[in-house]
Amino acid sequence: MYGTQAARSGASTRIPDLLEQLKSEYDALGQESTLLKAQKEDFERKLESQIAELNMMTQTLTELERQHRQMKNTYEDEIKWLKRQIESAGGVVQPRKDGAGMPSVASKVEGTQSSALPSCFGTAAAHSALADAIPNSQIMGDTPMANATNTSAGEPSKAVDSKGRQLDDWNVVHNPNATSKMHIELCHTLEHDSVVCCVRFSNDGRYVATGCNKTAVLYEAETGKRLGMFSNEGVLDSQVALDNLTCGDSYVRSVCFSPDSRYLVAGAEDKTIKVWDIQGRRLRHSLQGHSKDIYSVDYSSDGRYIVSGSGDKRAKLWDVASGECILTFGDDDGPKDGVTSVAVSPDCRYIAAGSLDRLVRLWDIKTGKLIDKFDGHNDSVYSVSFSPDVKYLASGSLDKTLKLWDLSATGNRTVMSKCKHTFQGHKDFVLSVVFAMKGSWLISGSKDRSVQFWDPRRIVAGGQVSQDEGPVLILQGHLNSVISVAHSPSSFVFATGSGDKRARIWKYRET
């Protein structure tokens, strides 16, 4: 009996030890389980991260493959486009895409120098002085660009590739140092049968008119649709009528609209100024009095007067109601050579004229008195333009510069005034200048084939601008000289006319 009790007593004393041992083992298993769980979660996180990274790599690879295909297609289209350009242009290839930085514009083409420039405003045969030395197939052919739709029926054209996708034959180069940036977009290309000497918008922005050989052509600015052709032989309603005009050349050198957009005025090399009733489609006046070619015309904002400039070294003021010449500007003080450009100030107080004698003159529109002469250009002045507030006058010259003249003290300073600022950047003759709405931009066209935007606001505000800072942007959108630039009075739209036998309508916005 005593042995049995002793055994029971020994077993009782071992139970706590066994329980303690079990507890220790349980705790160890718990810790091991926690560690394994942590390792499992860590492995799961790493696996998820690797899966996400793999998915990202897959997406990146897919995107790279897509970009590769897109780039391959783009290069193939580019090569095809360049081949067509080479075939149609006789070796001249125009850039297609927007560039970066500010590389120099097209190099100057050897040709007629300023001493021979009066012929540019003389016979039609001398229009080559305004054209670059590129093959005649581009400036005189039936279609200036391969695959361009013929717009003789009044429809705008666009270059397309073999798949019907539009090709850009123009580019924009932005000045990286400019504070203002702009986006340019081509709206319409208007094909002509000859050099486009001039472009102009109506005051309401509805119409744009061009001048070329024998005709002034009227378009709807928004759609690019041709609305009519006006010639010395009357209003033309078809291409057949245009083709049947009498032989010989007589270029319309300048066009403008009446303020109410009812009348279209055309000055031509036949020494006459035609005033057309647009809606009535009839000739209202044929103004005669100049003894040489008409180079420029403008309409006063009050609708009362037309001013003209001619190779006869005179500018004339015409009464619209009667069709009579009421003032002739020019005397012993000049101009000493042909008047290439005239402009009436928006307030109808002044008439400005640029001349082949290098000077810009300012006359009183009521008295005909010479108010001021602006001397500063080193070569013939081809274009003048008033700022909308009439505080400044811009001029463009064959010396490749634009100048900004301060009119705030006009009449109170000595003759032979100095300019406010000189804009330098064109590589060849500056043929046209125009202020944009509110004078925010100054736009110029040149024989170097480019259109350049300049910012006059810093200058007029008294800011110091380096002479070599250059334009805000350069638009290269023509295959030949940009002879004329015009800005819509009612919207951010401008037009260009060129020796490549095309006029183009563009729109822009600041970005």
Under DSSP, the state recorded for 110 is P
Range with lowest mean pLDDT among 34-38, 257-261, 408-412: 408-412
- pLDDT score recorded for residue 270: 92
**Bridge partner residues of 495 (DSSP):** 486, 505
Tokens of 483: 């002879």
Split at pLDDT 50, 70, 90, the class of 330 is: confident
Asked whether residue 326 falls in the same domain as residue 442, the answer is yes
Asked whether residue 368 falls in the same domain as residue 253, the answer is yes
Mean pLDDT (the chain, rounded):
80
Task: Single out the residue of 195, 191, 190 nearest to residue 128, CA to CA.
Answer: 195
456 phi and psi, to 5 degrees?
-80, -5
Tokens of 189: 């290309």
Asked whether residue 365 falls in the same domain as residue 218, the answer is yes
Asked whether residue 84 falls in the same domain as residue 204, the answer is no
- pLDDT score recorded for residue 334: 79
Asked whether residue 315 falls in the same domain as residue 439, the answer is yes
106 phi and psi, to 5 degrees?
-50, 140
Q: How many whole angstroms separate alpha carbon 408 and alpha carbon 179?
A: 27
- pLDDT score recorded for residue 237: 59
- pLDDT score recorded for residue 102: 31
- pLDDT score recorded for residue 158: 46
Domain boundary among 50, 67, 93: 93
Asked whether residue 186 falls in the same domain as residue 77, the answer is no
Task: Single out the residue of 415, 422, 363, 372 nearest to residue 396, CA to CA.
Answer: 422
Q: How many whole angstroms separate alpha carbon 296 and alpha carbon 273?
A: 10
Average confidence (pLDDT) over 84-88: 60
- pLDDT exceeds 80 at position 103: no
Q: How many whole angstroms separate alpha carbon 286 and alpha carbon 272?
A: 6
Determine, yes or no, domain membership for 211: yes
Asked whether residue 193 falls in the same domain as residue 71, the answer is no
- pLDDT score recorded for residue 239: 54
Tokens of 301: 């904002």
- pLDDT score recorded for residue 412: 53
- pLDDT score recorded for residue 257: 98
Average confidence (pLDDT) over 299-308: 98
Q: Cα separations (Å) of 494 from 24, 58, 205? A: 91, 48, 10
> For residues 351 and 102, which has the higher predicted lDDT (pLDDT)?
351
> For residues 234 and 424, which has the higher predicted lDDT (pLDDT)?
424
Domain boundary among 70, 93, 116: 93
Determine, yes or no, domain membership for 107: no
Dihedral angle sign, alpha carbons of residues 470, 444, 446, 473? positive
What tens digit of pLDDT does each residue of 484-499 get?
999 999 999 999 999 9
Q: How many whole angstroms separate alpha carbon 222 and alpha carbon 187?
A: 8
- pLDDT exceeds 80 at position 186: yes
Asked whether residue 331 falls in the same domain as residue 435, the answer is yes
Q: How many whole angstroms separate alpha carbon 226 and alpha carbon 219?
A: 4
> How many domains is the chain built from?
2
Determine, yes or no, domain membership for 214: yes
Collapse the DSSP code of 171 into the 3-class scheme (helix H, G, I; strand E, B; otherwise coil) and give the result. strand
> For residues 402 and 440, which has the higher predicted lDDT (pLDDT)?
402
Q: How many whole angstroms separate alpha carbon 227 and alpha carbon 214?
A: 17
Phi/psi-derived region of residue 368, left when phi > 0, alpha when psi is between -120 and 50, beta in every other case: left
Split at pLDDT 50, 70, 90, the class of 99 is: very low
Query: CB 67: neighbour CB atoms within 10 A?
Result: 10
Q: How many whole angstroms separate alpha carbon 456 and alpha carbon 444?
A: 12
- pLDDT score recorded for residue 95: 41
Asked whether residue 88 falls in the same domain as residue 194, the answer is no
pTM (two decimals): 0.70
* Cβ atoms 433, 442 nearer than 8 A: yes
**Bridge partner residues of 85 (DSSP):** none
Looking up tokens 């033309």 gives: 236
Range with lowest mean pLDDT among 39-53, 99-113, 199-213, 257-271: 99-113
Asked whether residue 203 falls in the same domain as residue 70, the answer is no
- pLDDT score recorded for residue 355: 97
Determine, yes or no, domain membership for 100: no
- pLDDT score recorded for residue 137: 30
Split at pLDDT 50, 70, 90, the class of 410 is: low
- pLDDT exceeds 90 at position 152: no
Average confidence (pLDDT) over 67-80: 80
389 phi and psi, to 5 degrees?
-90, 5
Q: How many whole angstroms separate alpha carbon 362 and alpha carbon 342?
A: 10
Asked whether residue 381 falls in the same domain as residue 486, the answer is yes
Range of the domain at 362: 171-510
> For residues 48 and 346, which has the higher predicted lDDT (pLDDT)?
346
Determine, yes or no, domain membership for 200: yes
End-to-end CA distance of the chain: 109
Long-range contacts of 143-146 (CB under 8 A, 24+ apart): 143/88, 143/191, 144/191, 144/479, 144/500, 144/501, 144/502, 145/85, 145/88, 145/169, 145/479, 146/84, 146/85, 146/87, 146/88
Determine, yes or no, domain membership for 159: no
Range with lowest mean pLDDT among 105-109, 156-160, 477-481: 105-109
Tokens of 29: 């298993």
DSSP characters for 385-433? Answer: EE-TTSSEEEEEETTSEEEEEE-TTTTSS-SSBPPSEEEE--SS-EEEE
> For residues 246 and 144, which has the higher predicted lDDT (pLDDT)?
246
CATH code of the domain covering residue 473? 2.130.10.10
Collapse the DSSP code of 120 into the 3-class scheme (helix H, G, I; strand E, B; otherwise coil) and give the result. helix
What tens digit of pLDDT does each residue of 194-238 get?
999 999 999 999 999 999 999 999 999 999 999 999 987 666 655
Domain boundary among 36, 69, 93: 93
Determine, yes or no, domain membership for 131: no
- pLDDT score recorded for residue 469: 67
Asked whether residue 191 falls in the same domain as residue 58, the answer is no
**Bridge partner residues of 55 (DSSP):** none
Burial 159-194 (b: 16+ CB within 10 A, else e): beeeeeeebbbbbbbbbeebebebebebbbbbbbbb
Determine, yes or no, domain membership for 449: yes
Tokens of 412: 């109170």
- pLDDT exceeds 50 at position 258: yes
- pLDDT score recorded for residue 367: 94
